[in-house]
Structure 1
């Protein structure tokens, strides 16, 4: 059993009215990568994402909307760390330091497939 937790950082833009872009940031901690995946692809969340055009602006440019990483110290999870990981991903792509569902890493830093 591991004491590591998965951190999920969402960085999206909403506009009400559209055109007035404001960032929406979400930072959550999960017990496992599988529980986060199950929630993210659950019926309610999927429906919200299908309806996102009602409350999120489409991205004109390619935009990374989330990253995740493993942590052993939940108390160290912070907005500063989230942006550090986000920017690292933008510069280096997915690594065991920060990744996404398409290229995920397990607690040992090995690539894995999440289902």
Structure 2
């Protein structure tokens, strides 16, 4: 059986999506997501019913409209790394503290999914909780757990939001 790499990143915006404090983020969200979808190795992205520039309405967590998520699937580690740190995405990643609160807990997880599987947000949140409780494992992990991941060692930003 072949596997793809799923990733979930959650955050809480510092302001509503129409607030000037998150304008740069919201104005470029479709651009960055579109770039990701065109990258070699991109497989799938959770998408919702939001109007362009309003974010993914199905990616909101719980009843808090400021608590949002990004859930994607990639062919392999190298494809995801190239998108995260080898494209303009990195410039937005470096500015995340302008737009997102510091959560005070782990907010990112990756795991392997069977080829063709599109994880649900509920499934992804379970993986995140597993990583929060147990640390890195074969079932839920971060970049350091992946021996084949190299770009994050030299390109990753200091921890923040």
Change in Cα spacing, 1:79 to 1:21, as seen in structure 2 (3 Å) is closer
Higher strand share: 1
| Count of matched residue positions in the alignment of Structure 1 and Structure 2 | 104
Structure 2 unpaired stretches of 5+? 22-63, 151-161
Show the 5 A alignment for 1:23-62.
23-57=67-101, 59=102, 62=104
TM-score normalised to the size of structure 2? 0.57
TM-score normalised to the size of structure 1? 0.78
Change in Cα spacing, 1:29 to 1:3, as seen in structure 2 (3 Å) is same
Q: Which of the residues 78, 83, 90 maps onto 2:125?
A: 83
Higher relative contact order at CA 8 Å, sep ≥6: structure 1 or structure 2?
A: 2
Q: RMSD over aligned Cα, in angstroms?
A: 2.2
Corresponding residue of 1:114? 149
Higher helix share: 2
Structure 1 unpaired stretches of 5+? 105-111
> Structure 1 runs of 4+ off > 4 angstroms?
none
Query: Displacement, 1:23?
Result: 1.0
Query: Displacement, 1:91?
Result: 0.5
Secondary structure of 1:96's counterpart equals coil
Query: Displacement, 1:79?
Result: 1.1
